[in-house]
Amino acid sequence: MIRFLLKFYTILLTIDAILSFFPQTNKFAWRFKLKKICDYTCDPVRRFLPSGLAFDFSPIIVIFSIYIFIEVFSYLW
């Protein structure tokens, strides 16, 4: 169950990252909710990244961290 939720969250992060290239989607309420859900984990990572980057690497780092967490703890479950 936890593995499913983590993989579902990575899908949400991927969708949010793709939709960030389309600013016209920002006017929809579901997009604002998706952004708020994804920023919960991406904002702490953004604080440690340099501010002058041309691309936001925080979703990639969070997804990578989730998959490392899944792989490490899959041996314990």
pLDDT in tens, 29-68: 999 999 999 999 999 999 999 888 888 899 999 999 999 9
Does residue 76 surpass a pLDDT of 90? no
Which structural domain range is residue 19 located in?
2-48+56-74
Note the pLDDT of residue 1.
Answer: 83
Q: Return all residues near 70 (Cβ < 8 A) that are at least 6 apart.
A: 3, 6, 7
Does residue 77 surpass a pLDDT of 80? no
pTM of the model: 0.86
Q: How many domains does the chain have?
A: 1
Note the pLDDT of residue 54.
Answer: 86
Note the pLDDT of residue 2.
Answer: 84
